[in-house]
Amino acid sequence: MAIEIPDFDTLRSRYLQQVANQQPQAATGRDSDHYVRASAVAAAVESLHQHIWWLARQHFPDTADPDYLERQASLYGLARKAAAVASGTVTLTGEAATPVSAGLLLQAANGQQYEVTENTAIGGAGSVNVAAWALLAGPGGNLSPADPLTIVVPVAGITAAAVVTMDGGDVPEEDASLRARLLERMRNAPAGGNSADYVRWATEVAGVGRAWCFGGRRGLGTVDVAIMALDGLPSAGLIEAVEDHIEEHRPVTSDVLVLQPDLVEINITATVILSGVSLASAQASAATAIAAYVDQLAPGDTVYLSRLSAAIQDVPGVVNVVITAPVANVETSVNVLHLELAQMGAVTLGV
């Protein structure tokens, strides 16, 4: 039976009750000395109860606050993943044969700076693609293709720079993610390279949101690890980082491939009857509910119409729902040719 922590009023009432029991004639009204003392004692005791309750929560990883969550994770060799640095490729334009040195600084319109990470030279066509990365970690380093860059210190022979790809930047790991990894580690102890080990190794890399392991997909002795970034498909740099990390831990006999899943977009159209809620509000809530269902699916899982219907039906104000698309359960495949993962597309409700 759980212990019920008394609140301030209950503690003060208990104090005054004890005074009345021992001194029936004592004054215990709001303007009495006993009432003042009872209020002071109740405040102190309530604070102690709350502190003890807070300490109890820190003993368990599913209720621990951030600092103690990190402390518990450290006992298992886990640490909060740092903010991820965006990386990719930029195009430099200029005179042919102009040397390009690693360390060349570029700057985006938002003030974020990038550093070229390889030595090369402008090609005969007047341009060259070079690897670069953001100097500051975080999602602010992500840029869209063709975004222009300026050269911080002008270099003779190099006239312009633009983004080819620049992604992978992300915030530090959130508490929910670290908590999930810690609970997974506690529930699935290291086993010399089983499926849980590969998933754990993959999710230890900053920027990885989800991971799945498929043994034998390409044949005997093969292990395939599919990953997703926190905000969608992983970049080539993130896949390489996961490969390098797994390489440090995997059994020497395993043939490991890290890859991204093939996304199968599910567009949902439904007719609804509403009561007390606008169509726009219901559609936004339905999209959130459907995303919560689809996001917990793994490659190879089936998207069931009944679950989609239930997600929409549970939205406050939705009286009835009839899904018109898709017309049947949507199956995804995992085999030597395919590794498919369902992804929510557009959600359109009509009345």
Q: Which residue has the tokens 């900053």?
A: 206
pLDDT at res. 192: 79
Q: What is the pLDDT of residues 126-155, one digit of tens each?
A: 999 999 999 999 999 999 999 999 999 999
pLDDT band with cut points at 50, 70 and 90 for residue 178: very high
90 backbone φψ class: left, alpha, beta (φ>0; ψ -120 to 50): beta
Judge whether 151 and 115 are in contact, CB under 8 Å. Answer: no
The CATH class of 87-167 is mainly beta
Task: Tell me the C-alpha distance between 110 and 188, whole Å.
Answer: 44
pLDDT at 242 (0 to 100): 96
Q: Which helix (H) or strand (E) holds 53?
A: helix 33-58
171-177 mean pLDDT: 91
Answer for the pair 164, 145: CB distance below 8 angstroms, yes or no: yes
Q: Mean per-residue pLDDT for 79-102?
A: 93
Cβ atoms of residues 210 and 228 within 8 Å: yes
Q: Is the pLDDT of residue 63 over 90?
A: yes
Check residue 3 and give its pLDDT: 77
CA distances (Å), origin 101, targets 116, 155, 238: 7, 10, 24
pLDDT at position 181, please?
A: 93
Q: DSSP secondary-structure letter at 297?
A: -
3-state secondary structure of 226: strand
First-to-last CA distance in the chain?
A: 49
What is residue 223's predicted lDDT score, i.e. its pLDDT? 95
Number of helices (H), then strands (E), in the chain: 8, 14
The answer to whether residue 1 scores a pLDDT higher than 70 is: no
**Helical H runs in 59-169?**
66-74
Question: Among positive and negative, which fits the CA dihedral 31, 35, 37, 43?
Answer: negative
Q: With contact defined as beta carbons under 8 Å apart, do 280 and 246 qualify?
A: no
pLDDT more than 70, % of the chain = 99
Q: What is the pTM of this model?
A: 0.69
Residue 159 scores a pLDDT above 90: yes
Q: Is the pLDDT of residue 257 over 60?
A: yes
- Considering the domain delimited by 192-259, tell me its CATH architecture: 2-Layer Sandwich (3.30)
Mean pLDDT (the chain) is 93
Q: What pairs with residue 342 in β-bridges?
A: 264
> pLDDT at residue 254 above 90?
no
Does residue 2 carry a pLDDT above 80? no
Mean pLDDT of 312-329: 95
Q: Which residue has the tokens 């159209």?
A: 269
Round to whole Å and give the CA distance between 254 and 258: 12
Longest dimension (CA), the chain: 104
Helix axes 8-22 and 33-58, enclosed angle (nearest 10): 130
Cα(104)–Cα(115) distance, rounded to whole angstroms? Answer: 6
Could you tell me the pLDDT band of residue 231, with boundaries at 50, 70 and 90? confident
pLDDT score, position 131: 95
- Whether 110 and 148 have beta carbons less than 8 Å apart is answered as no
Q: Specify the pLDDT at position 340.
A: 97
Encoding tokens for residue 300?
């190879």
d(CA 210, CA 342): 13
Residue 9 has pLDDT above 60, yes or no: yes
Q: What is the rounded average pLDDT of the residues 173-184?
A: 93
